[in-house]
Amino acid sequence: MEGHTSYRTYWMVWVLLLILTIVMIFVEAARLPAAATVLLLTIAMFVKAGMIGTWFMHLRYETRALVLAVVLGTLITAAFLWFLLIPDALATLEMSPR
């Protein structure tokens, strides 16, 4: 699939990425409740990652099979690391003698 994104689009994405980065630095400095900070920053992080993948890495021009394999494949496997290993590691820590 041949895709020609205009140069203008790339630099628009660049501007948006910079704005999001600045917003993130302000959110961190604003001393909001910890949960709000983590939630906002995590959302901004995934939006930024999605923009880089979609426009810079041209995923919007690839077949759906490739996009699903790459994005879901990585996210699901990475989520396993976070949500299965961490609780298990914490439980092991609780049981171990200090």
Partner 1 sequence: MTQTAAAEAHWKGGASPFGVSWQKLMMWLFLMGDALLFAGFLASYGFVRLASGTWPEQSEVFTMALIGTMTFVLITSSATMATAVGAAQRGDLAKARRFVLLTLLGGVIFLGMQAYEWTNIIHEGARLTHNPWGPPAFSSFFFMVTGFHGTHVLIGVLILAITTIRLGAGKTTEEGVELAGLYWHFVDLIWVFIFTLFYLI
Q: Which residues of the shown chain bind partner 1 in the complex (CB under 8 A)?
A: 1-2, 4-7, 10-11, 13-14, 17-18, 21-22, 24-25, 27-29, 37-38, 41-42, 44-45, 48-49, 52-53, 55-58, 62-63, 65-66, 69-70, 73-74, 77-78, 81-82, 85-86, 89-90, 93
Q: What radius of gyration, in Å, describes the C-alpha atoms of the chain?
A: 18
Q: How far is the CB of 23 from partner 1 (least distance, A)?
A: 11
Q: How far is the CB of 33 from partner 1 (least distance, A)?
A: 13
57 DSSP assignment: S
Q: How far is the CB of 88 from partner 1 (least distance, A)?
A: 9
Q: How remote is the C-alpha of 83 from its chain's centroid?
A: 16
32 DSSP assignment: -
3-state secondary structure of 92: helix
Measure the CA–CA gap between 61 and 44, rounded to whole angstroms. 23
